[in-house]
Structure 1
Amino acid sequence: MGEVRKVLLLMDKSRASDRDILRGISQYSQIHGPWKYFRNYPQYHSRPSRKKPLSRMDVKGIHGIITVMHELNENLIQQVRAARLPVIVIPTRRNIAGVPNVFEEKEAVGKMAAEYLLNLGFRHFAFCGFENLCWSQSRCEGFCRTIEKAGFTVHVYQEPKIPANLSWEKESLYLAGWLRSLPMPVGLMACNDDRGQLVIEACTQAGLLVPEQVAVIGVDNDELICDLADIPLSSVAMDFEKAGYEIARLLDEMMSGQPARRQILMKPTHIVARQSTDVIAIEDAEVADAVRFIRNHAKSQIHVNDLMKTVTLSRRTLEMKFRKVLGHTIHEEIMRVRMEQIAWMLTETNLSISQIALSMGYPNLTPIWRSFRKEKGMTPLQYRKLHRIQ
């Protein structure tokens, strides 16, 4: 057995995202270790101390560090650099120069949320985030860029210019007033699930219905936060566990003396739909009914002719309505909804691709392979490898 590598983890274990990253790190070390971990003491166990954050280890015997920078703690940044150890930083406010950083794929999260709300038929949009957090800004930019490309505008929440220690109870009144000023119905993206939960609470204060008037989607798919919201919150799921595995792989390379030649990208995987977006915001009743039929039968191998049996319009008329309202054909909507269902199964289940194909009504792998590649730009196997630890 080789040397046991000692790794210092400066991470907040109370967040589901951080725990998923830690789970990925743990999986890597179980396969390629052994590693010994050193962590922060729990807050309830901590005693007041003037020591620097790294001093209890004196970094003696430590081989590598993985840290989340929640605050711009210049003292900690200098300590990390001065330690002259392999370090990987997960920043929240800005990137830290001189060490590998963990990034989100630029604007991809906001783009996925925007496309989801566009496909629900919304024509009014809003974003609620934090102005001083780099990941929130990136999500906002991706959301706004995608919505504006589709020909619409986004109402972006501006935090009140008042003391930083403002209580949520007071800010919620400000947020409720902003929500009442929005055109309805509106599709709103919150920068993360915590913010989404607070937006739903503010909607209640403002007397607004979720999702009928304000459909809300968060990010991170923190299941506890999403399920505890007044209205269960839809969310963009992220590949945090896969990112944790790649973080550990990169740190292992650095601890072996290899240069840090790459950064780590965290990517969105799919939308987890819950009650907060369970609405079809399409004014055209015939199109709305048709879309509802398609989504209710996503697992069945339906065709356009199956849909036409449920409507009174001619196919030509319904096709024209689909192009006007959604910007694509009936067949394209069927394929889009079915491929999203397959994408969810690839990331969230252990079913083989053959089993997924069978459950979706495909006689063999050829049609699912062809359709999925056309919709997602890659094969089902490539998609699963991209978003899951192999």
Structure 2
Amino acid sequence: MPKTPHVALLIETSREYARGLLRGVARYQQEHGPWSIYFEPHGLDDPLPEWLVGWKGDGILARVNSRDMAETIVASGIPAVDVRGALPDVGLPFIGVDNEPVSKLAYEHLKSMGLRNFAFCGTPRGENPNQDRRCDYFVSEVEKDGYSCGTWLGEQQRLRAHSWEEQQQQIAVWLRDLPKPVGIMTCHDDRGQQVLDACRRAGVSVPDSAAVISVDNDPHLCNLSTPTMTSIDVNPSRIGYEAAAMLHGLMTGNQPPRRVTFLGPPRGIAPRRSTDALHIEDQDVAEAVRYIRENATSGIRVSDIIARTKTSPSTLERRVKKLLGRTIKSEITRIRLAHARLLLSETEFSVAKIADKAGFSEPKYFCEVFRKHEGVTATEYRRRFRDE
């Protein structure tokens, strides 16, 4: 009988992202195990478990959060994979989120609200390279369209040196000075919740004066926020699954990858009240966009939108294209595909049923459109992004 691998999971349970990683690891070992799992519930900043020093296991999956942790893992000589990426120079293979499509998705969502002022609220530069990339990609997307982007990263004084009240006051001052209305991306849900609280302190109305979108889609933080917070689901379960697969390879003699591995794109946006507004001065376009978002999955056609306005078809098309950067038909398709992706990843519905629920006239047409836009078939998408 082959030996059962002993694997340590140094992944916290205090964040939804980390819990998603654990779900993915669990699914992998159920499919390809069994593994003997060494695991204790803990927080990200908790000290290393005492048993790790001198432990003689076969593999480690870790959210490496300190040099002491990294050095202990490297010194053990045990095959290990990092699923945090905060310390890219420690010599451990890393697998994580591709932040470029995450930032692009956030920008496109805010831009589609009709916003033309943008800002990013993150953490001090150098604290986490992934969050730095998230900021840089967002600013790049904004500037490519000719707009400017304000940033607040707490760079002058590290945030941990301040109390919650002092942090909130700093963010509130920054928020008051931003041009309004403004679309704000935050680096993660923790910061997003802070921004929404600071908006209340600063008297900035959400979503009318500031629309806020965050990352990780932690349902507790997002629904505890006032108003509830829109967030991007980066599908941590898939990252946990692929990290477990990478570790399995290392434990069976594979060489570690020479480069970091980024998985993407994200699963999609979980829309909530913090971005539930339209800032479009052109009333005909605003009405058209609102109608599309409310009815795209009901099988509407371009002619249905045009019939609701007194504007000529060519004029309405031109104005929509100018404000959204895409045609009426493209906007309908975008909404339908977003709904289809959600159904593929979260339900047991057949592809044919999903095509119908997303507003496509025929399953075959849906499959063609999905593959054209997503680069994979609907069935393959489900396999990759399913969070079981």
With the shorter chain as reference, the TM-score category is: over 0.9
Identity across aligned pairs (percent)? 35
- From 130, 136, 159, the equivalent of 1:135 is 130
Residue in structure 1 matched with residue 367 of structure 2 by the alignment: 369
Q: 2-side partners of 1:35 and 1:70: how far apart?
A: 24
Q: 1-side partners of 2:161 and 2:204: how far apart?
A: 27
Answer yes or no: is 1:35 the counterpart of 2:30: no
Contact 2:11–2:62 (Cα < 8 Å) also in 1: yes
Answer yes or no: is 1:251 the counterpart of 2:244: no
Residue in structure 1 matched with residue 234 of structure 2 by the alignment: 238
Aligned pair in 2 of structure 1 residues 30, 181: CA closer, same or farther (>3 Å)? same
Pairwise mapping of residues 228-377 of structure 1 onto structure 2 (< 5 A)? 228-261=224-257, 263-267=260-264, 268-377=266-375
When structure 1 is superposed on structure 2, of 177-186 and 76-85 the one drifting more is 76-85
Residue in structure 2 matched with residue 207 of structure 1 by the alignment: 203
What displacement does 1:199 show?
Answer: 0.2
Deviations 1:141-176 (A, max 9, x none): 111111111221111114162364201201211111
What displacement does 1:57 show?
Answer: 4.1
Q: 2-side partners of 1:159 and 1:13: how far apart?
A: 26
Aligned pair in 2 of structure 1 residues 155, 271: CA closer, same or farther (>3 Å)? same
TM-score (norm 1): 0.92
Output the amino acid matched with 1:104: V
Give the gaps of 5 or more residues in structure 2: none
Residue in structure 2 matched with residue 49 of structure 1 by the alignment: none
Tell me the secondary structure at the aligned position of residue 9 of structure 1: strand
Output the amino acid matched with 2:38: F
Q: 2-side partners of 1:389 and 1:234: how far apart?
A: 19
Q: 1-side partners of 2:75 and 2:170: how far apart?
A: 44
Output the amino acid matched with 1:25: V
Contact 1:193–1:220 (Cα < 8 Å) also in 2: yes
TM-score (norm 2): 0.92
Q: 2-side partners of 1:327 and 1:333: how far apart?
A: 9
Output the amino acid matched with 1:341: H
Residue in structure 2 matched with residue 76 of structure 1 by the alignment: 69
Output the amino acid matched with 2:137: G
Answer yes or no: is 1:113 the counterpart of 2:106: yes
Q: 2-side partners of 1:329 and 1:31: how far apart?
A: 44
Contact 2:118–2:183 (Cα < 8 Å) also in 1: yes
Output the amino acid matched with 1:321: R
Equivalent pairs counted in the alignment come to 381
Residue in structure 2 matched with residue 219 of structure 1 by the alignment: 215
Deviations 1:98-126 (A, max 9, x none): 22112321422111111111122110000
Contact 1:184–1:213 (Cα < 8 Å) also in 2: yes
CA RMSD of aligned residues (A): 2.0
Tell me the secondary structure at the aligned position of residue 278 of structure 2: coil
What displacement does 1:237 show?
Answer: 0.4
What displacement does 1:365 show?
Answer: 1.9
Output the amino acid matched with 2:108: E
Runs (4+) off by over 6 Å:
none
Contact 2:12–2:42 (Cα < 8 Å) also in 1: no
Output the amino acid matched with 2:324: L
Residue in structure 2 matched with residue 185 of structure 1 by the alignment: 181
When structure 1 is superposed on structure 2, of 347-356 and 215-224 the one drifting more is 347-356
When structure 1 is superposed on structure 2, of 372-381 and 126-135 the one drifting more is 372-381
Q: 1-side partners of 2:360 and 2:156: how far apart?
A: 56
Tell me the secondary structure at the aligned position of residue 66 of structure 1: strand
Q: 1-side partners of 2:9 and 2:238: how far apart?
A: 17
Deviations 1:172-215 (A, max 9, x none): 11111110111111110010011101100000000111000000
Output the amino acid matched with 2:262: L
